[in-house]
Amino acid sequence: MPKLKPEELQSRRKEIIDAARACFLRSGFHQTTTDEICREACITPGGLYHYFASKEEIINAVIQERARRIVERLETITQGAGDLRSTGREMASFIMEAMRSPRVDNATGLDVEIWAESLRNEKLADMNREGWRLRRDWLEELIKRGVSEGLYSDRVDPRGLAHLFIALSSGVRVGRLMLGDEFETEKVLGALFLMYTGRLINRAPAASRPEVSRPEA
């Protein structure tokens, strides 16, 4: 194999990761073979193993690369939006756009497959957790900023709220996958936004005080 410059090696590695992800989305990571990845990436098996020692390493690289891309996209939104309220609006638009994509169900299906296998494979579970930690750490820092700017109450636990946001977004994606067209994504996200902004439940009217009769003088 000809000697490549570091940037060429990195570019080729990324091409293989993208090819592997395409195969995993199409066939599932269990059914995908290294031969299929080689065909998708236009590389020989010997060339593939120059970059990755095993299929397990490729799976890990796919998980980490996806997490990194999501965090990079969110960081771009944060840097371009200015204040945190504007960031929230931009993130809501980004999430809505992502949920409208026809590719979201395939991506969720791959996540579900990885989650299920993680219950039996601790090494894969560790890989998957690391990918989600990248998202969580980014969210946690954003929430800390929200607390310092007065957007969130100082009673908020940033890590706890970050985990809640991750659980909610994952649940929305899984709900869409399970219910298909019956799952009205925009209405679900609208309800989630009302809950997030504290407007989901009307305040109960204050109970009127019973009048106390005063004794006559």
Query: How far apart are the C-alpha atoms of 163 and 129, rounded to whole Å?
Result: 12
Could you give the C-alpha distances from 74 to 36, 87, 173, in angstroms and in order? Answer: 32, 9, 18
Which token pair is 13?
A: 């590695």
Q: Does domain 56-196 have CATH number 3.40.50.620?
A: no
Query: How far apart are the C-alpha atoms of 67 and 12, rounded to whole Å?
Result: 19
Number of helices (H), then strands (E), belonging to the chain: the values are 9, 0
Query: How far apart are the C-alpha atoms of 122 and 209, rounded to whole Å?
Result: 60
Q: Which long-range contacts (CB under 8 A, 24 or more apart) does 176-182 make?
A: 176/99, 176/104, 176/105, 176/108, 177/105, 177/108, 177/109, 177/112
Query: How far apart are the C-alpha atoms of 23 and 69, rounded to whole Å?
Result: 18
Which residues in 110-138 are b (16+ Cβ under 10 Å) and which e?
Answer: bbeebeebbeeeeebeebbeebeebbbeb
- Per-domain boundaries in the chain: 9-53, 56-196
> CATH: 3.40.47.40, 1.20.1260.10, 1.10.10.60, 3.40.50.300. Which one for 9-53?
1.10.10.60
Pick from 121, 122, 118, 98: which is nearest to 172 by CA?
98
| pLDDT tens for each residue of the chain, 217 residues long | 556 677 778 889 999 999 999 999 888 888 999 999 999 999 999 889 889 999 889 999 999 999 998 888 888 877 766 677 777 777 777 777 777 777 888 889 899 999 998 999 999 999 999 999 999 999 999 899 889 888 888 999 999 999 998 998 899 899 989 998 898 888 888 888 788 777 778 865 555 555 555 555 4
Query: How far apart are the C-alpha atoms of 49 and 182, rounded to whole Å?
Result: 44
pTM of the model: 0.77
Query: How far apart are the C-alpha atoms of 116 and 197, rounded to whole Å?
Result: 33
Which token pair is 166?
A: 């991750």
